[in-house]
Structure 1
């Protein structure tokens, strides 16, 4: 049954994705407003096909400029986050060269950073600053890599480098850094314990295609996005402080969710989106 499910999902995606990519390419070429909304519809379709149900605690901030600082578990995080609102991602340079995934990332106007080349990083930081100043909401996986889903890794303050370009020495607008905890909580309706999170978590040396195939066969998945209040980042000197505060907020929420405990003491009631 799992194999048939996976084949059906792949068949639908293979049928629908190429024409939608062409439509998105055309929309971007003419700078149509729909280019921001089409990826949201696409990611919602992907989540529906995979049986991914997204629950929100808190909400995406309306403040701008807005940068989401999120923990990273899986390639599936892209569709989970992309299904809630028009977003673009800040990704490592290697992603741009991935078949299909890299193309989709480009069509969502993602930004690719080569962290080993300082000159390239500076150029991308300027582009990030320009996008934030224009009102785009960007997603930063602040750990710098993906985890096993059972913990939150330390946030890297260097990844908040765009503040140099946008805020200068404090004369420009502060960046609103909103911490978001992303936790996969249930598999096939049952609590997802430590031993089950490898079904979703893609990290370390795990090969992408076998992991993708296993996940497509697995069944319904529940995931929670827990939003904290945005933290203003006005100067480069505040990067470590803000990164630490964002890490604390994400870890606080993720720890409760991973343990199967309620967030009701620190957040409003959840709202299901899919």
Structure 2
């Protein structure tokens, strides 16, 4: 009964929210930035996912948040914090549920096979950043099993830096996501798949598992901001950020 009740509320909220968000985007209303935040907060409440913050996003703009990636849940978890947008590969747009959430969040989709589209994508990213919204990059380029952080890809960071070439500097902040408790108990390595979504896991089956388990606690930790400008090597900034995310994630997973 709980499963069907949650699905009914989610479908109702989506049916109401999508046309309102579409209209807000068309008219350029400020509400377009907050509708996704409210939607994600409702979704997390229904799923039983509790978000715990350590630190906060930097106040400087333009702001690039570099994060690890463990699950489709990362999107509503991060999206519930503040108005922001994601940069994702174009394939994500076609994924069920995940693609819907991503579009709802005003995600910029990048087609890696169409290099000629880079200019228009960069312009769109730059416009969003200059409007004051932080951009979130899952810098690993894929999702992990939630027990580790994969190597960050410097090309993704470079693309964002190019998008805001007119800015003197971009603030880069490490952000770590860690799923730490299940039904109030510490979540060990063997239980992490209850939250993490990776490999060839089926999305529908994983969503049902999340609904069955419920009471998932996730920690979102923010590290010290770095500056990426003409004098800084983006590869070094990416490596430093990756190191910081590893440290933050390890501390959360260890319960420190």
In 2: Cα distance, 1:227 partner to 1:254 partner: 10
In 1: Cα distance, 2:236 partner to 2:206 partner: 36
Gaps of 5+ in 2: none
Scaled by the length of structure 1, the TM-score of the pair is 0.88
Contact kept, 8 Å, 2:76 with 2:101, in 1: the verdict is no
In 2: Cα distance, 1:164 partner to 1:134 partner: 17
Mapping of residues 116-265 of structure 1, within 5 Å = 116-160=113-157, 161-167=159-165, 172-235=167-230, 238-260=233-255, 262=256
What is the Cα deviation at residue 236 of structure 1? 9.0
In 1: Cα distance, 2:162 partner to 2:252 partner: 34
Query: Which of 44, 66, 70 pairs up with 2:67?
Result: 70
Contact kept, 8 Å, 1:167 with 1:235, in 2: the verdict is no
What is the Cα deviation at residue 127 of structure 1? 2.1
CA RMSD of aligned residues (A): 1.6
- What's the secondary structure of 1:75's corresponding residue? coil
Query: Which of 95, 98, 101 pairs up with 2:95?
Result: 98
Which residue of the partner structure matches residue 49 of structure 1? 46
Contact kept, 8 Å, 2:13 with 2:39, in 1: the verdict is no
Contact kept, 8 Å, 2:151 with 2:242, in 1: the verdict is yes
- What's the secondary structure of 1:59's corresponding residue? coil
Count of matched residue positions in the alignment of Structure 1 and Structure 2? 255
Scaled by the length of structure 2, the TM-score of the pair is 0.94
- What's the secondary structure of 2:190's corresponding residue? coil
Contact kept, 8 Å, 1:164 with 1:235, in 2: the verdict is no
Distance 1:236 1:107, change over 3 A: farther
In 2: Cα distance, 1:126 partner to 1:16 partner: 32
Is 2:79 the partner of 1:82? Answer: yes
Contact kept, 8 Å, 1:179 with 1:230, in 2: the verdict is yes
What is the Cα deviation at residue 25 of structure 1? 0.9
Gaps of 5+ in 1: 263-274
Q: Runs of 4 or more off by more than 3 Å in structure 1?
A: none
